[in-house]
Structure 1
């Protein structure tokens, strides 16, 4: 006969269960939370009404272009390819030779103090810019095609993600180019090679120094200020009369007889204005006798030879 025993009741240790629950909760709180890593792309496009100018507006003449210099191209801000709003962009391997025309916008107070695509802090008063594909950092010269104003800026951000714009300038750069109030402008963007730019600046500085250092002598001043003396030319003065109509009539009568110009000019003699009738300038003094002979044969005075 199979004998069934009585099962003894199990004693539950509630203290151990409580400790286990508390331990699980604490480990959950102490675990590292997961987060989406930053893409390093400022993918919020600027739209009218969403950004604004700061309260302080510097004068354009006080703003100075960025100074091009060699900087290492780092990974920050140069991930390639990358996507924004479903569109893929590829960063250029080199900025050399880059030149493009298109629309420019600007971004200001809303993004001031935020991180740019390469991890720097955006400063709306600095000469900087955002570009979709140029390596970060690099320098470009931007020309406003409407007024030919120019500025050199340092590219340290990504954008603008707008089909009709090729560059997003800082607030200060937009002031320098004269389109901050309008908001957008048609521009030309051209890469600036730091070596070439520095050579050009050095050449300008040398030329300026040479001009200042060149001694100026009295003779040099006289040579620089003296007006060139025109070569004296021969004329035949036929008459000098006080009546302009008479002078014009005489000149009109002489013109068919000679191939040289016949002129009427006024001169002051004391309080009287005289009108001189002259033939010339003559090609040479040697032609004067033949002209005088023609005039005399036609009944006019031969006149006298002068030079002026």
Structure 2
């Protein structure tokens, strides 16, 4: 029996019993946040911090999990469109009780693997989960269905919850963002040989020439599908910043071949087929990002001929994650982690 169905049947049975006793009001949870008599292993591995994030790749969806289904009288319709998904809500986790049992798509649940369960995302798919209280961020592979109780948004594996620091509370407010097929193609794009990243110069205005026309903020460059669109509030803020900070010229992005150390990471703001749109975005955000980041805005062309606007390099993934929030606040664009 799949782990999801097994979990569900046990929850139904216990809740029915508790309802008879007048006590079924907590959604079948015990203190600590995990389900029923589930929980951590007695002797978990000592190197959980070293467990890597899931590496996104394009996979065929499991047909049996792509059809609408009904749980507790509610119909869930899986989204197999391949489009973007961004939602905020509560995450919970499940552990040893289901370790080694079948997931909804027929795989075996590994509590020490970077996986998750979601009611409607396609199986399998990949999401970035960010805990909002501490800004910790992970990438997990969705291969199971659930949760269906307590208005939970996503169920994480034990190690995924550990890396977000939410084992003890059992649940946490998170932001879940799907990594789309287009983003995955960029993720998998081969690096430039010798681990160099070729960058393109954003030229400053010439002192003797007429002022360059301002980038029209009302017609924000339209990103391809791997770029998160600005919210209306962010657009207004970005437009205001653009018109009030013309005195602070953007520092030009070096055009030299810049060596990238192993283990470094970039933050990507967008990817465009049109190089001029990429340059326009780079020009705008280069004057908006915090000066103490110690990283520059650059435009480089990937193997798929998309012009990527990225900030970096950061010395490590952790350093890049720490920069996510200040960059989004200052630019109005939600960046994504981007390997060299």
TM-score scaled by length of structure 1: 0.51
How far the C-alpha of 1:187 sits from its partner, in A, is: 0.3
Query: Could you tell me which residue of structure 2 aligns to residue 160 of structure 1?
Result: 147
Choose from 104, 114, 127 the match for 1:127. Answer: 114
Long gaps (5+) in structure 1? 1-36, 215-308
**Partners in 2 of 1:58 and 1:172 — Cα distance?**
11
Q: Does 1:92 align with 2:75?
A: no
Query: Could you tell me which residue of structure 2 aligns to residue 138 of structure 1?
Result: 125
How far the C-alpha of 1:86 sits from its partner, in A, is: 2.4
**Partners in 2 of 1:38 and 1:125 — Cα distance?**
18
How far the C-alpha of 1:56 sits from its partner, in A, is: 1.0
User: CA contact under 8 A between 1:40 and 1:76: conserved in structure 2?
Assistant: no
Q: Does 1:189 align with 2:176?
A: yes
Query: Could you tell me which residue of structure 1 aligns to residue 167 of structure 2?
Result: 180
- Provide closer, same or farther for how the CA distance between residues 107 and 74 of structure 1 changes in structure 2, counting only shifts above 3 A: same
Query: Could you tell me which residue of structure 2 aligns to residue 68 of structure 1?
Result: 56
- Provide closer, same or farther for how the CA distance between residues 173 and 133 of structure 1 changes in structure 2, counting only shifts above 3 A: same
Q: Secondary structure at the match of 1:106?
A: strand
Which string of whole-angstrom CA distances, capped at 9 and with x for unpartnered residues, describes residues 136-160 of structure 1? 1111100010111111111110000
Q: Secondary structure at the match of 2:186?
A: helix
- Provide closer, same or farther for how the CA distance between residues 86 and 207 of structure 1 changes in structure 2, counting only shifts above 3 A: farther
**Partners in 2 of 1:97 and 1:70 — Cα distance?**
14
Query: Could you tell me which residue of structure 2 aligns to residue 47 of structure 1?
Result: 29
**Partners in 1 of 2:40 and 2:182 — Cα distance?**
35
How far the C-alpha of 1:198 sits from its partner, in A, is: 4.4
| Alignment: residue pair count | 177
- Provide closer, same or farther for how the CA distance between residues 206 and 160 of structure 1 changes in structure 2, counting only shifts above 3 A: farther
How far the C-alpha of 1:39 sits from its partner, in A, is: 11
Question: What's the RMSD between the two structures over aligned residues?
Answer: 2.9
- Provide closer, same or farther for how the CA distance between residues 177 and 213 of structure 1 changes in structure 2, counting only shifts above 3 A: closer
List aligned pairs for 1:117-266, cutoff 5 A.
117-200=104-187, 202=189, 208-209=195-196, 210-212=257-259
Which string of whole-angstrom CA distances, capped at 9 and with x for unpartnered residues, describes residues 279-301 of structure 1? xxxxxxxxxxxxxxxxxxxxxxx
Q: Secondary structure at the match of 1:94?
A: coil
List aligned pairs for 1:71-82, cutoff 5 A.
71-80=59-68, 82=69
TM-score scaled by length of structure 2: 0.47
Q: Secondary structure at the match of 1:187?
A: strand
- Provide closer, same or farther for how the CA distance between residues 192 and 205 of structure 1 changes in structure 2, counting only shifts above 3 A: farther
How far the C-alpha of 1:183 sits from its partner, in A, is: 0.7
How far the C-alpha of 1:61 sits from its partner, in A, is: 2.8
